[in-house]
Copies of this chain bind each other. A is one copy, B any other.
Amino acid sequence: METLTYRRKVNFYETDAQGVVHHSNYPRYFEEARGYYLEYIGYPYHLVRNELGVDIVLLEMNVKYKKALQFGDEFDIVFGITDINKYFFTFEYKVMINEVLYAEGITKHCCLDIKTKKLVSIPPEILTGL
């Protein structure tokens, strides 16, 4: 799997009373990484919708928490696409600071036709980037 790296800083409002990033923010970080990927390959989300006529939908997500991010931390999401078949694909993510793994996760997706809301095969344009 080829990977891309998305760098991000923790915002204060993402922390909780345990003094660390609340776990519900990791899916948001992953979403930012996917947006970064789509821009990187030249298909930002509005083009996916307007040119390709599909919505990318989230079917499942999994996160394993290893070490807690804190306010002020700058971290990398190293991520890529795997398990591609005609209808489904999976993003894999590692949240890293330097060589230390803080969390890892996956999100599974498919594409729906914008109008009919029916499952369609994945447009090749959105998978050719990595």
Contacts and interface: CB of A to CB of B under 8 A. Distances in A.
Interface of A: 11-13, 15-20, 22-25, 27-28, 31-32, 35, 44-46, 55, 58-65, 70-72
Contacts of A28: 11, 13, 24
Contacts of A16: 12-13, 15-17
A23 B55 contact: no
Contacts of A60: 62-65
Instruction: Summarize A's interface: helix, strand, loop or mixed.
Output: mixed
B17 A23 contact: no
A61 B23 contact: yes
A101 B11 CA distance: 24
10 contacts: A11-B35, A12-B45, A17-B71, A23-B58, A24-B31, A45-B72, A46-B72, A60-B65, A62-B62, A62-B63
A63 B65 contact: no
A93 to B, nearest CB: 14
